[in-house]
Amino acid sequence: MRYEILGDTLPVVICHLENGESMINEGGSMSWMSPNMHMQTTSNGGVGKALGRMFAGERIFQNIYTAQGGPGMIAFASSFPGSIKPFQIAPGQEIVFQKSAFLAGESGVTLSVHFNKKLGAGLFGGEGFIMQKVSGSGIAFAEFDGHVVEYDLAAGQQIVVDTGHLAAMDARCSMDIQTVKGAKNVLFGGEGLFLTNITGPGRVWLQTMPLSNVAAVLRPYMPSAN
């Protein structure tokens, strides 16, 4: 499979497949394709994995597109102004994405729910922070909000991130969500109630414009319902 990522603020990844090669995606992300791409909708792993994808912010069913009778082409576009990033997935090189980031991937890629248990006591009903884990073998594409900045963390090295700016991290990294200390900081600091603490080793991908922040900025300008 060959691919090219085009566009700046609203990018698209165009994948060129050989005969018999397949791509998986969540419903709605396919933008255009050659007429010899055959689509099959499947739970892709049974009910358990399908429900896990639902908790991770994706749809229960996935689409599998396969080139038949010769080379094929298929494109997947971003749903929000931001970035599309490719990730080479392999055993021992799993990646954890923010909820709903997975866009598409080669057929050897597996998407599952990722629960982080090392969170502040009592947060999120004790279930942990729900993210997406991508494993298996192949290239996976993820869409992030705004521009993406990458950091390589050494073992034990930490970075503190405003909640919502974490786009992805190596599965080797660990994370914890902590409350902002000090009542004055919480009430008047304007930075929210929680911060995300990420510990290496591994690479971290941070996004500059979380969709939740955009929604908060636009909320005062939206007409209120009567």
- Over residues 6-44, the pLDDT tens digits come to 998 899 999 999 999 999 997 778 999 999 999 998 865
pLDDT of 57 above 60: no
Q: Hey, where are the domains in the chain? A: 2-221
With a cut of 90, say whether residue 2 has pLDDT above it: yes
3.60.160.10, 3.40.1280.10, 3.30.70.890, 3.40.50.300: CATH of 2-221: 3.60.160.10
Asked if residues 177 and 123 have their Cβ atoms less than 8 Å apart, the reply is yes
Q: What pLDDT, on the 0 to 100 scale, is given for residue 198?
A: 92
**Sheet with 102-106: strands ordered across:** 37-42, 62-67, 22-26, 102-106, 138-145, 82-89
Between residues 51 and 177, the one the model is more confident about: 177
Question: For residue 127, what pLDDT is reported?
Answer: 37
CA dist., res. 158 & res. 170, Å (int): 13
Q: Is the pLDDT of residue 53 over 50?
A: no
Measure CA of the first residue to CA of the last residue in the chain; give whole Å.
Answer: 52
Dist CA 110 CA 23 (whole Å): 11
Q: Give the pLDDT of residue 163.
A: 74
Residue 79 has pLDDT above 70, yes or no: yes
**Which secondary structure element, helix H or strand E, spans residue 13, and what is its range?**
strand 12-17
pLDDT number for residue 29: 85
More confident residue, 211 or 197: 197
The tokens for 85 are: 């990033």
Residue 179: pLDDT band by 50, 70, 90 thresholds?
Answer: low
Joined together, the tokens standing for residue 52 give 């896990």
Phi, psi of 52 (to 5 degrees): -60, -40
Mean pLDDT of 44-70: 66
| Tens digits of residue pLDDT in 92-144 | 999 999 888 999 999 999 988 876 655 443 344 333 467 889 999 999 999 99
CB of 168 closer than 8 Å to CB of 142? yes
